[in-house]
Amino acid sequence: MLCERTVNKGNDTYMALFDEKGRHIALPYHTRGTVARLLDGSLFATRDHKYYALEKIPDRHDFSPQADPEDTRPKPKPVRPKMPANHPLSFQKQKLFKENDALMKSLAPYYKSPKETEYS
């Protein structure tokens, strides 16, 4: 099967072009060529009587082909210690402070005197 295709932005993000020596080739933007699918399912592209093999580029690698898989294993994150309930920045203490703060603001009109400072 043959079909006419246009190269987008130099090389396709899903398919890579390789020449007869196995080198990766990037064609100029808007280069037109013919793509052929053979009976065995392999893809080839032609342009100006030159033939290129098309290979699918994998979306992602789990790890670099040059690295050992053991080295790339994710390291476990350290467990953060839970904050004790009596700590000043704990959720319970903050909730208690907000309740006391609301109470003190509601009682502010009763504490207005020259000797007392206003709670705000």
Q: What is the pLDDT of residues 14-49, one digit of tens each?
A: 677 888 898 888 888 788 888 888 899 888 888 888
Domain extent at residue 99: 83-120
- Domain contains 96: yes
Note if the pTM is more than 0.85: no
- Cα(first)–Cα(last) distance of the chain, in Å? 80
- Domain contains 23: yes
Q: Are residues 8 and 51 in the same domain?
A: yes
Q: Are residues 7 and 47 in the same domain?
A: yes
Cross-strand partners of 44: 36, 53
Q: Which of the listed ranges 2-6, 44-48, 71-75 does the model predict with the highest average pLDDT?
A: 44-48
Domain tally for the chain?
Answer: 2
- What does each C-alpha distance from 62 to 55, 66, 68, 77, 98 come to in angstroms? 19, 12, 11, 19, 48
Q: Pick from 20, 40, 56: which residue ends a domain?
A: 56
Among residues 93, 89, 112, 91, the alpha carbon closest in space to that of 101 is found at 93
- Domain contains 43: yes
Q: Are residues 49 and 90 in the same domain?
A: no
